[in-house]
């Protein structure tokens, strides 16, 4: 009968050769029956296989068979190590992409005679898995191989390498300045691109500190940069992202975008690090500023065009209404006189015929002048402007000379600075205002017309001592075919001030008046910002 105290299992035989004073080992060997041992190794997450010195299979666990995809019926035959290798070789397990490699990634090959492998290596198999293999040799001649599935680790390593390569390509393409700030020491590590961005060699800025960096920031940008830093350091913002100016070695300012994030963890020296990038965005900022300026200019131009279009529509409405009203009266009179001329009694009176014919000619002439005035106003609205340096006083004196003949008006004109304006439009403004002033000062005993300039307000004026008008009717002044006085000293159509107002608007300014009956009138006008030098 077999003695139960004598171990027949290889692992038990290995324990039996130990010194007798190791009672714990002896006790353990008596407990580890083959069934218990098999159950124990089957519970391992690693694949385990054991061969004796003759390469005969002693034991293995299920995980070993799973990892190497060895069929159950094949393993039940207790194949030797050589038979297992032959099975895998026949199946193509050792063909590419399957390979064996060491810690450095160098390919290793089994010994062509013994099929022996190093004590530690890695193995890629056809299924795409990567296995880590460890060989342990026991003093009894047994040796154990353990197999661990490290596919996830190698996949992560490959992804890390791909990401590192991708990051390097991006860095090579964008060439950003990079930095790492050590919170505890205040030390900042920068790269060559960071230094070159501001005209320095790297060694000129090393060692870099927080204080040195801050000293390079534009004073106007310091506050919002510190606010962004505080929000990041206190956790209110997950990432530091700020735009500010930094001083170049040559003295000019460079716009940069600085971003940074916390390094996940603590370095070996116990410091916490923030890593980030620095990009030169000067061209982008300049482009944005130019775009903003251009947008504002376009908006102003659109507003001007819209205003001019709106005014043109209103002018057309005024002109249409004025023509409909003012042409109706002469047309009615012309029809009346024409009807009378057709009567026999009138035809027999040559003197009466001549009188009515003259009336018809006068009325038709007035209608023609009204139509011409309308077309003239339309020309003012449609003609392009051409800005040139010119003096208002020079133009005013030229217009005064033209009005001085046959007039007892005393003209005065103050000197004015140069402005950038359209000479034709500005000259027309002065001509209409001066004509209007002369017309309404004819009844004065000492008629006087003055052109001046208020430098504080940058406003020009034409002042007279004529009949004046009631300011309650001032809103009617600049409407086409509108006259505040029922009986005018001149044969005007009420278009002069309307044309002057539209010319001023075309110059980007405005025209207004101040007056009271019997005290004369003052017409003020300004010019737009484009008139500035």
Of 280, 300, 331, at which residue does a domain stop? 280
Distance CA 162, CA 164 (A): 5
**Cα 319 versus chain centre, distance:** 47
Instruction: Kindly state whether residues 62 and 137 are assigned to the same domain.
Output: yes
Q: What is the CATH number of the domain that holds 405?
A: 3.30.565.10
Record the tokens describing residue 238, joined without a space. Answer: 């997950």
Claim to verify: residue 188 and residue 138 sit in the same structural domain = no
Q: Do 187 and 126 sit in the same domain of this protein?
A: no
User: Any bridge partners for residue 123, and if so which?
Assistant: 100, 131
Please indicate, yes or no, if residue 132 is contained in any of the structural domains: yes
How far does CA 239 lie from the centroid of its chain? 19
Same domain, 459 and 531: yes
Q: How long, in residues, is the chain?
A: 533
DSSP 129-152: -EEEEEEEE-TTS-EEEEEEE-HH
Paired tokens of 146:
């353990």
- Partners of residue 449 on adjacent β-strands: 411, 464
Tokens at 164, concatenated: 């590192």
User: Which CATH number do you get for residue 83?
Assistant: 3.30.450
Same domain, 414 and 530: yes
The 8 Å CB, 24+ separation contacts for 149-155 are 149/67, 150/122, 154/122, 154/130
| One pLDDT digit (tens) per residue for the chain, 533 residues | 344 444 444 445 444 444 444 455 455 556 667 777 778 788 888 899 999 988 899 889 999 999 999 999 999 999 999 899 889 888 888 877 778 888 777 888 877 776 678 888 988 887 788 999 999 888 888 889 999 999 888 888 888 778 767 766 766 666 789 898 887 788 899 999 999 999 999 999 988 898 999 999 999 999 989 898 888 888 788 888 999 999 999 999 999 999 988 765 544 555 668 889 999 999 999 888 888 888 888 888 888 788 777 867 776 776 676 666 666 777 777 777 777 776 756 666 777 778 878 878 877 777 777 777 777 776 776 677 788 999 999 999 999 998 988 788 999 999 999 999 999 999 999 999 999 999 888 888 899 999 999 999 999 999 999 988 888 887 778 876 666 654 444 455 678 888 899 899 888 899 999 998 888 999 999 998 777 76
Domain total of the chain: 3
**Is 337 inside any structural domain?**
no
What crossing angle do the helices spanning 423-439 and 392-404 adopt, rounded to 10°?
Answer: 40
Is the domain of 144 the same as that of 249? no
Helices of type H across 327-391: 328-341, 344-347, 350-382
Q: Do 512 and 401 sit in the same domain of this protein?
A: yes
Could you tell me which of 470, 474, 519 has the C-alpha nearest to residue 501?
A: 474
Check residue 268 and give its pLDDT: 53
- Inter-CA distances, 107 with 86, 100, 145, 387, Å: 20, 6, 19, 83
Task: Establish if 285 belongs to a structural domain.
Answer: no
> What are the residue ranges of helices labelled H in 327-349?
328-341, 344-347
- Within 10 angstroms of residue 172's Cβ, the number of other Cβ atoms is 8
At 171 the pLDDT is 64
Shared domain for 47 and 102, answered yes or no, is yes
What's residue 154's pLDDT?
84
Can you give the pLDDT at residue 96? 79
* Residue 391 sits in the same domain as residue 511: yes
Same domain membership, residue 505 and residue 402: yes
CB 362 within 8 A of CB 394: no
What is the tally of helices (H) and strands (E) in the chain?
18, 19
Same-domain pairing of 135 and 195: no
Take residue 434 and report the two structure tokens written for it.
């001066």
- Note whether 204 and 129 are same-domain residues: no
Neighbours of 155 (CB within 10 A): 13
**Domain encompassing residue 238:** 175-280
Which helix or strand (DSSP H or E) is residue 387 part of?
A: none
- pLDDT (0 to 100) of residue 362: 77
């Amino acid at each position: 009968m077999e003695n139960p105290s004598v171990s027949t299992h290889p692992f038990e035989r290995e324990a039996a050769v130990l010194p007798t004073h190791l009672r714990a080992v002896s006790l353990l060997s008596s407990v580890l029956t083959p069934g218990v041992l098999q159950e124990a190794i089957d519970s391992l997450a690693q694949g385990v296989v054991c061969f004796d010195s003759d390469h005969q299979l002693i034991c293995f666990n299920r995980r070993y068979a799973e990892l190497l995809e060895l069929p159950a019926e094949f393993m039940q035959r207790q194949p030797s190590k050589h038979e297992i290798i032959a099975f895998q070789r026949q199946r193509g397990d050792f063909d590419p992409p399957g390979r064996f490699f060491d810690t450095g990634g160098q390919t290793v090959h089994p010994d062509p005679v013994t099929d022996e492998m190093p004590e530690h290596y890695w193995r890629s198999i056809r299924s795409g898995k990567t296995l880590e293999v460890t060989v342990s040799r026991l003093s009894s001649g047994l040796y154990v191989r353990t197999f661990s599935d490290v596919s996830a680790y190698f996949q992560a390593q490959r992804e890390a390498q791909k990401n590192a390569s991708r990051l390097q390509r991006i860095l090579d393409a964008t060439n950003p300045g990079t930095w790492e700030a050590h919170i505890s020491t205040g030390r900042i590590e920068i790269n060559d691109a960071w230094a070159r961005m501001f005209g320095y060699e790297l060694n000129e800025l090393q060692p870099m500190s927080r204080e040195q960096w801050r000293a390079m920031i534009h004073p106007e940008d310091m506050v919002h940069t510190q606010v962004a830093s505080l929000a990041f350091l206190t956790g209110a913002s997950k990432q530091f992202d700020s735009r500010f100016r930094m001083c170049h070695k040559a003295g000019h300012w460079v716009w940069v975008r600085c971003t940074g994030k916390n390094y996940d963890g603590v370095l070996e020296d116990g410091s916490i690090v923030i890593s980030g990038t620095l990009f030169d965005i000067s061209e982008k900022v300049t482009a944005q500023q130019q775009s903003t300026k251009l947008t504002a200019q376009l908006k102003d131009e659109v507003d001007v065009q819209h205003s001019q279009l709106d005014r043109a529509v209103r002018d057309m409405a005024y002109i249409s209404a004025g023509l409909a009203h003012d042409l109706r009266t002469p047309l009615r009179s012309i029809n009346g006189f024409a009807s009378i001329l057709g009567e026999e009694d009138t035809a027999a009176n040559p003197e009466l015929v001549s009188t009515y014919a003259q009336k018809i000619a006068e009325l038709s002439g007035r209608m023609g002048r009204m139509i011409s005035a309308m077309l003239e106003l339309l020309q003012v609205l449609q003609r392009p402007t051409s800005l040139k340096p010119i003096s208002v006083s020079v133009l005013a004196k030229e217009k005064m000379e033209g009005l001085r003949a046959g007039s007892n008006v005393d003209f005065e004109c103050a000197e004015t600075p140069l402005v950038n304006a359209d000479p034709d439009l500005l000259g027309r403004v002065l001509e209409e205002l001066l004509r209007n002033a002369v017309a309404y000062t004819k009844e004065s005993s000492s008629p006087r017309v003055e052109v001046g300039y208020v430098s504080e307000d940058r406003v020009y004026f034409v002042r007279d001592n004529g009949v004046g008008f009631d300011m309650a009717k001032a809103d009617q002044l600049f409407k086409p075919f509108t006259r505040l006085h029922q009986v005018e000293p001149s044969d005007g159509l009420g278009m002069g001030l309307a044309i002057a107002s539209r010319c001023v608007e075309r110059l980007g300014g405005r025209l207004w008046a101040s007056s009271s009956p019997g005290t004369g009138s003052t017409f003020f006008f300004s010019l737009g910002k484009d008139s500035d030098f």
